[in-house]
Amino acid sequence: MLALKFATRLKRPQKRLIFMVLDTLIVPFSLGVALLVLGAGALAQASQVSLVLLVATLMVAAALSSNFLGLTRIKLNSYEMQGILRTAKFAVSLGVMAFVLNLGVGALNGYAVFIVFTMVLMLSTVAMRMILRQLLIRAYQTGGSRTRILVYGASQTGQQLAMALQSDESLELVAFIEENPTLQNLTIAGLPVYSPLKLADLVRSENIDRIVLCLPSASQTEQARLAYKLRSLGCEVHSLPSFATLLSKGTIGSKSTPVVINELLGRGHLSHELPRVAESYSGRHVMITGAGGSIGSELCRQIASCSPKSIILIDHSELALYTIHKELSETPAEFKIVPILGSVTDKRLIEHTLRAHDVDVILHAAAYKHLPLVEENAIAGLANNVLGTKIVAEAARAAGVRRFTLISTDKAVRPVNVMGASKRLAELVVQDLASRSTNTRFSMVRFGNVLGSSGSVIPLFKEQIARGGPLTLTHNEVTRYFMTISEAARLVLLAASYARGGDVFVLDMGKPVPIAKLARQMIEASGYSVKDKENPHGDIEIEVTGLRPGEKMHEELLISSDMLTTPHPKILRVQESALSEIEVANALRDIRSAVEQYDESIARSIVTRWITKDTAQAEKAAAPLSS
């Protein structure tokens, strides 16, 4: 450790001076060895002064020659073939100089002494540097905690990596893993070479932290698949292209092109076009349910910039609540942050929270939204999305909350799955309360898929591309609407400020996007090619798996075509028919009964009956408008 600290603290001029002194001292040593080898006959009958003069002159010449040839500027951890060649030039030049000087002073006899001197000088100089190099490498290896690395592939790229990292202070190469059996059990670049069959045992026994793939001949998708498999061993996995590839024209970063989703979808930055709504939330007590989710957390961030008096965060996920609470706590703005850990189905908790914190605005984002999971867990989905909305909305009206906004989804329009049906029923609950509320303004915001949210197709495609594919597509003709999280959150905030009561707001989201086209664009934007019949040698395949239960081919945003404008041209207000107060009450009674009995078949039949009735009424109401 002391040697390592001493070596690393030396400045470059100090290191160069040390090497110059060592190169100078090696001259008398080499000459002495040559005289010992050849015996006393090599000494001429000249005075000792002549010999001293010769040695002194050679030492000065050695210092000058070492500096001129750049020996003092070669780092020890880089002292390889080029350094040895320079050392050879250094030794030969001094040998020739010694012979020429000796013609004048006559201190030595014959030619042999100068040949031996040159050879000894070269070997001594090389040996001195190689010994110091090994001592330095050993000092690095014992100099503290280092990341232990396995190199997968003993090709030239792997060997170059091993040589480059031998003296790295923070990294330690342990061994090579090589699939070629002719290289297994050998030692390359000072490291043992093992078969991939021993990889798992090596990771455990050698406490490996990272595996580096050095497989320049393998395709990017092959490397991605191998990396995905190796990560199951609990190590980091990195991929290194060949150094020649890195330096080739136009290839640097060719496989790491960032996927700009907004550009792929042809969306502008609508969030910048939407007006700010700070005045609607400034000085208010704002409660956000589902505050730790994708939409909820973005709502929290945007509300935080509106100078509220307090933000009340409700989420049943401890981790999600902790994360958003920590983020908001680090903002410089001055407002109170109240984290509430609990479910929206807890009536006492919701009522107590509204009373205790004098809530002015509620943004209800809490919902189970993953279509396949809700389809498999219909009771939980209905309890949370329908009954939970009923509890929060009724508590808001009873507490005199000024505005209540429900975050809904395009899947609530003519739903064919439990998740969409639960959100439509939640909309009906809010519409019913809006018709009977005098103090609280109820509204709903309906939008399509949100980019980057949990469960969205975009993160799924990114993950599948990262592991080499295939990308899973439910149907070649499937289309979806998309918007960014920022757009969605701003729309919610604007809708709440525009609400008159019972409104359904939708965003002008442009044309629906074919998911097959999106998958192809994401593959190509990541630097890969699509593998299909036209391109059988492509990188990543798109695999059609079939529509999932309850999944629609095309989503809709509107039940009725009756649309009204709002103060912003990108936001539309929709007038839709709804179930009557008695019908909503009966539907909620039936759902509550099915939840209490935990009878999924009854729950599904109830949902189907009421959704069918709602859809029929909506289409009947819309018929005169379309005729």
Cβ atoms of 462 and 424 within 8 Å: the answer is no
Residue 411 known to be catalytic: yes
Cβ atoms of 361 and 285 within 8 Å: the answer is yes
Q: Look-up: residue for tokens 């996927």?
A: 259
How many Å apart are CA 563 and CA 462, to the nearest integer? 36
How many Å apart are CA 555 and CA 420, to the nearest integer? 11
**How far, in whole angstroms, is CA 528 from its chain's centroid?**
19
Q: For residue 223, what are the contacts with CB-CB under 8 A and spacing of at least 6?
A: 213, 215, 239, 468
Cβ atoms of 481 and 267 within 8 Å: the answer is no
3-state secondary structure of 402: coil
Alpha helices of 311-417 — where are they, by DSSP H? 318-329, 347-357, 371-376, 378-382, 388-399
Check 11, 89, 326, 411 and give the catalytic one. Answer: 411
Cβ atoms of 408 and 423 within 8 Å: the answer is yes
Q: For residue 293, what are the contacts with CB-CB under 8 A and spacing of at least 6?
A: 315, 320, 365, 366, 453, 454
For residue 363, the cross-strand partners are 288, 405
How many Å apart are CA 256 and CA 220, to the nearest integer? 11
Burial 239-272 (b: 16+ CB within 10 A, else e): bbbbeeeeeeeeeeeebeeebebeebbebeebbe
How many Å apart are CA 515 and CA 511, to the nearest integer? 12
Burial 441-474 (b: 16+ CB within 10 A, else e): bbbbbbbbbbbebeebbbeebbebbebbbbbebb
Cβ atoms of 71 and 90 within 8 Å: the answer is yes
How many Å apart are CA 159 and CA 167, to the nearest integer? 14
How would you classify the pairing of strands 441-447 and 503-507? parallel
Q: Which of 160, 168, 177 is nearest to 243 (CA)?
A: 160
How many Å apart are CA 399 and CA 359, to the nearest integer? 8
* Axis crossing angle, helix 457-466 with helix 220-230, rounded to the nearest 10: 100
Write out the two tokens for 512.
């629906």
E strand segments, 178-230: 187-188, 191-194, 210-213
Catalytically active residues are 411
